[in-house]
């Protein structure tokens, strides 16, 4: 039976599905619905979703292996070398995230499988969130809100003092798209910026430090905007926190494992750093229990990208990348796999 041939005994909707390019969907049952608009995608593609099938995922993938050319990876669903080995015809992985540490990029490179990311869709929203976390930690916004809700204002008077944002030296770890937007926003607040990246950027006006320890020594706050790799795993360790000092603040909107979370808890408990704003964690959605009781720590549920506008743009980008692939046109947001 040819690809464009319509079997007479199939329903009209099923016949239409068979005429559309097939896309395998990999997602966790816990992924929020706004990461994945099935109705929007079904207008353009025939979706193969293991969660809609009663059979085990492994069997589902094996059954469709020969026909799957494109895979949609929703949120941080793992795409391992084992999963890729079940899909010998795969040519494209479309990710709905900016970070790609959950995808085996080395195996994709070896196989010649193209990968696309969320590109700049989330950039401004994540930068806003990073600045919001820093403001919150320094000015004690969440802590003050809790103080009022606990009826302590009337009982004990004004809440403890916060700290000024303007004038702080902010070190950005990873001056890519998001880091650059964070810097732009903080300059407007009167902060001075320095950065650490894999390479110095000659066109950037901010001071460059080749190591995170040197950056921490010359900063009042660190904002983590880099990708998670073998090299950046626990890049914020005991030595870096010691270099940052007692008045230092750490903000993480990158990936949880950029920080040695156990060491961070120790430094916070002992008053060896001022505070932290965390949107990501080493073992999310679980985190160190000690963090819950700390008023100098602001906790968010990996929500820096969560805006209506960013997810509307993400849906359009996903469709655009898939359409480009099936039309043999350049991908919109190809990832560099080197």
Give the active site residues: 255, 284, 302
Instruction: Tell me if 182 sits within 8 A of 172, measured CB to CB.
Output: yes
Bridge partners, 252 (sequence order): 224, 278
Q: Are 58 and 87 in contact (CB under 8 A)?
A: no
Q: Using alpha carbons, list the distances in angstroms from residue 1 to 7, 18, 69.
A: 8, 11, 19
Distance CA 178, CA 110 (A): 29
Sign of the CA dihedral with 308 first, then 312, 318, and 324 last: negative
- 3-class DSSP assignment, residue 222: strand
Dist. CA 137–CA 141, nearest whole Å = 7
Nearest CA among 279, 283, 275 for reference residue 304: 279
Closest CA to 118 of 258, 227, 222: 227
Q: Where are the alpha helices (DSSP H) in 86-175?
A: 105-111, 123-139, 141-149, 152-156
Q: Which residues of 82-105 are buried (b: 16+ CB within 10 A; e: fewer)?
A: ebbebbeebebbbbbbbbbbbbbb
């Amino acid at each position: 039976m040819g690809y464009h041939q319509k079997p007479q005994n199939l329903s009209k909707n099923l016949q239409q599905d068979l005429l559309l390019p097939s896309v395998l969907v990999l997602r966790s049952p816990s992924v929020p619905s706004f990461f994945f608009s099935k109705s929007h995608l079904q207008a353009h593609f025939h979706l193969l979703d293991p969660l809609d099938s009663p059979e085990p995922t492994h069997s589902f993938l094996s059954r469709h292996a020969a026909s799957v050319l494109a895979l949609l990876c929703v949120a941080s669903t793992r795409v391992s070398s084992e999963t890729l080995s079940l899909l010998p015809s795969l040519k494209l992985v479309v990710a709905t995230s900016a970070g790609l540490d959950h995808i085996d990029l080395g195996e994709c490179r070896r196989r010649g499988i193209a990968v696309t990311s969320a590109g700049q869709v989330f950039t401004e929203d994540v930068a806003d969130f990073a600045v919001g976390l820093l403001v919150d930690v320094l000015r004690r916004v969440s802590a003050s809100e809790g103080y009022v809700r606990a009826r302590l204002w009337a009982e004990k008077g004004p809440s403890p003092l916060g700290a000024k944002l303007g004038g702080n030296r902010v070190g950005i770890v990873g001056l890519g798209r998001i880091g650059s937007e964070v810097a732009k926003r903080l300059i407007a607040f009167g902060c001075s910026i320095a950065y650490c990246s894999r390479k110095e950027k000659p066109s950037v006006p901010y001071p460059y430090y080749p190591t995170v320890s040197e950056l921490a020594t010359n900063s009042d706050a660190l904002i983590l905007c880099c990708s998670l790799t073998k090299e950046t795993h626990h890049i914020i360790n005991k030595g870096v926190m010691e270099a940052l000092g007692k008045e230092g603040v750490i903000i993480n909107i990158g990936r949880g494992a950029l920080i040695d979370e156990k060491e961070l808890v120790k430094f916070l408990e002992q008053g060896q750093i001022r505070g932290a704003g965390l949107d990501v964690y080493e073992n999310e959605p679980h985190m160190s229990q000690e963090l819950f009781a700390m008023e100098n720590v602001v906790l968010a549920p990996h929500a820096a990208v969560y805006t209506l506008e960013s997810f509307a743009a993400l849906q359009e980008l996903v469709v655009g990348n898939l359409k480009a692939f099936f039309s043999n046109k350049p991908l919109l947001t190809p990832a560099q796999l080197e």
